[in-house]
Amino acid sequence: MKKLLVLIAIPFILFSCNKDNSSETNLAPLKVSFELEAFGAPIDTTVLYTNNSGEKFKVTAFKFYVSLIEAANSSTNSRSAESESYHLVDLADPASQHFTVNLKNGVYDQFNFIVGVDSVRNVSGAQSGALDPAKGMFWTWNTGYIFAKLEGKSPSSSAPFQMFTYHIGGFKTGENAIRTISLPAQFQVGKTNELVINADLQRWFDGVNTLSIASKPTIMSPGGMALQVADNYATMFNVNKIVNP
Amino acid sequence: MKKTITILTMLFFVSGIIIFEACNKKDVVQPAQTTPLSIPIPPGFPAIQNFFVNNPITQEGFDLGKKLFYDGRLSVDGNFPCASCHQQFAAFATFDHNLSHGFGDQFTTRNAPGLANLAWYKEFHWDGGINHLEVQPLAPITAPNEMAETIENVVRKLKADATYQEMFRKAFASNEITSQQMLRALAQFMGMMVSANSKYDRVKAGKETFTAAEQRGYQLFSQKCSTCHQEPLFTDQSYRNTGLPIDNVLKDMGRMRITKKSEDSIKFKVPTLRNVYLTAPYGHDGRFYSIGAVIDHYRSGVINGPTTDPLLKNKLSIDDFEKADLLIFLRTLTDTSFVNDKRFAQN
């Protein structure tokens, strides 16, 4: 008789709603915020900044993809990755600088993500949401996402209107600008309210490499200098605040 | 006991149904009835690319794609639908234009290729820069010298149109119109464009026979041309430098622009020869106004540079009689049923 009762339970298991996976896998929301800065202060598009090469510049656009977000615990090796994890963080859109990710409950010591878009999504046709090509982060003539954009004006630039234009991307072998960021951070999904991450654009110019506006005002295709700039901005992130109750 | 089993078995199914139904009660639009379509695979053709794994073709998606293909609103001033450079009577190339025309009296830098059998192509454009059929239309829509529009604007225009609202809902069971859906509908329409009913195909199928001249031409083609213009697509989809002198205004470096490798300098994709008699002019920049002129280039015009194709370095030896036979054979690649197919014609 007990066995028969089990039979009744089976359909409940078989047909349980897939959507409701938060209760099944213990997912909890974690707010992630990006503070976009220049030289240690929030970016002000009216301010004339000076990089380490002594070049003065103003910023007009700054945006980048934060994808494949993952919380990791280096001692237990437990990991939790956000599903469909693509976020476009945009200076011009304050709402894009805060978002909520659903991760498995637990204690973690690393917050990981990539800057850019994984190669699969670069070769799988039209995408939607944050990856919608209408966002202007897509090369139409040489298929692939622009991972990060920094645009502005500088008297050091020899380009029209003294513009500098850095569109960084590339996923193919030899041109791979996808950079994995691993930030140390003690947090607990299920308890921690918010992770606040700084991204300081000074690192685009003064990172592991030096990017001079005068010598290179325009980068708009994969490979070459794009790889050096990706190495630079990969160092621009820091966990600034971990907000616990 | 038997009774209990029966009752419990019934309960098993009933409870399953109840829960299953409950799960379906989400806030989604009920999927409208769609009619599945599939790309016909002609005899001897390989498998298609995996472009449609996430985009199953339906009559409703195809119809929507066709409306989009012929709609000038995809361009900034309404004058440049996809069909302005891809005309059905020219096998979806541009009739009589070396370089196709775009917004504001501008030339593009290349000759518009015909559209057929796209589901078999690995890459698109003369330089192979596009890696998926769905994202190909983004290039002409946004290029300032072609349709000169933004994706955002196109989607805005579509959203404001009641007919499109209805057609998108029918095709994708969603009340939202997105660029992804637009591009998938276009891919469905273009993917269905299969051209494989020329005399050549009917001869291969044993339904017709070549004339003596066509047969001689075919033999010659098999010896001198088919390595690059490989059957049944009549292209091996490789990129080659056919020894064309570079145009000093266009300065088109071809494949090298995509790969940045010097060995790809002035290489362009081998074009298909299907419907070749309908797709003049020829070459990536349309510099040849006749097929005869192309053959003459291979006989006497090839310029040897560091990347000139080894198969052409010594030019092709084709005498005038052979040239005539070759031209007669190439005529058998015209698929009149394709260019007259009402399914692909503007409503």
What tokens were used for B204? 């291969």
pLDDT band (50, 70, 90) for residue A11: very low
The residue among A86, A131, A141 with the most chain B CBs within 10 A of its CB, best to mutate, is A141
Nearest to B180 among A11, A12, A132 (CB): A132
Question: What confidence score (pLDDT) does residue B255 get?
Answer: 97
Any idea how long chain A is? Answer: 245
Helix, strand, or coil (residue B128): coil
Cα A234 to the center of its chain, rounded Å: 10
B319/B12 Cα distance (integer angstroms): 80
Mutation site for A-interface testing, chosen from B131, B154, B253 by largest number of A Cβ within 10 Å:
B131
Residue A163: pLDDT band (50, 70, 90) is very high
Mean residue pLDDT of chain A comes to 92
Q: How many angstroms separate the first and last alpha carbons of chain A?
A: 49
> Across the interface, do B132 and A123 touch by the CB < 8 Å criterion?
yes
Dihedral sign of CA atoms B27, B32, B35, B38 in order: negative
List the single best residue of B5, B15, B156 to mutate versus A (max A Cβ within 10 A): B15
φ/ψ (deg, to 5) at B3: -60, -45
Q: How confident is the model at residue A87 (pLDDT cuts 50, 70, 90)?
A: very high
Asked if B58 and B195 count as a contact pair (C-beta separation under 8 A), the reply is no
Helix and strand numbers, DSSP H then E, in chain B: 12, 4
pLDDT for res B139? 97
Mean pLDDT for chain B overall? 92
Subunit contact B180:A5, Cβ cutoff 8 A: no
How confident is the model at residue B13, as a pLDDT? 47
Cα A166 to Cα A212: distance, rounded to the nearest angstrom: 12
- Closest alpha carbon within chain B to A122: B131
> Under an 8 Å CB criterion, which residues of A touch B?
1, 4-5, 7-8, 10-12, 14-19, 122-128, 132-134, 138, 140-143, 175, 221, 223-224
Interior CA angle at A222 toward A221 and A226, to 5°?
Answer: 95
Do the chains contact at A7 and B12, CB–CB below 8 Å?
yes
Spans of chain B below 50 pLDDT: 1, 5, 8-28
Nearest residue, CB atoms, A133 vs list B26, B151, B187: B151
Nearest CB to A134; choose among B11, B130, B155: B155
* Number of C-beta neighbours around residue A139 at 10 A: 22
pLDDT of A2 higher than 70: no
* Cross-chain Cβ contact B13/A11 below 8 Å: yes
In contact, A118 and A67? CB cutoff 8 Å: yes
